[in-house]
Amino acid sequence: MSPEASAHLAGIPMWAALLVTALAVVGAGVTLIGSIGLTVFRTFYERVHAPTLGTTFGMLCIVTASIVMFSVTDGAPTLKAILVGAFLTVTTPVTLVILARAAIYRDRVEGNDVPADDF
């Protein structure tokens, strides 16, 4: 790490460092749990749901950590990370729906058991 970068990071208040660390660890942990759910569940429909929830909440924590970190280091509110969060919030559920509909179509064509159409 360059001396300028280490001097810049040395000026971060302890509360900000602890908050950013906690948010990043919680976000990474929730995302990991969602990824583990991908391997634990048996059917495709169960498997596709766990990572989507984990990604959404984990991303929220990590984006919040990023906003806090860069707002403290820049000395002014920084909201650029909200764009990343907005794109992930929109694209993740849309991808889930497209994958689920493709799987339902495939299962119906093949004559497999398909989840009830309750929605």
Cα 48 from Cα 29, distance rounded (Å): 18
Which tokens go with 3?
A: 């001396």
- Which pLDDT value is given to residue 2? 60
With 80 as the cut, is the pLDDT of residue 117 above it? no
Region 91-107 average pLDDT: 86
Q: Tokens 């990474």 sit at which residue?
A: 28
* Tens digit of each residue's pLDDT (9 = 90 or more) over 37-92: 888 888 887 788 778 778 888 989 999 999 999 888 888 888 788 888 888 888 88
For 65, other C-beta atoms within 10 Å of its C-beta total 22
Q: Which residue, 118, 113, 63, is CA-closest to 88?
A: 63
Tell me the pTM. Answer: 0.74
| Cβ within 8 Å of residue 22, ≥6 positions away | none
Name the band, by pLDDT with cuts 50, 70 and 90, for residue 21. Answer: very high
Identify which of 28-32, 43-47, 50-54, 99-103 has the greatest average pLDDT.
Answer: 28-32
Say how many residues make up the chain.
Answer: 119
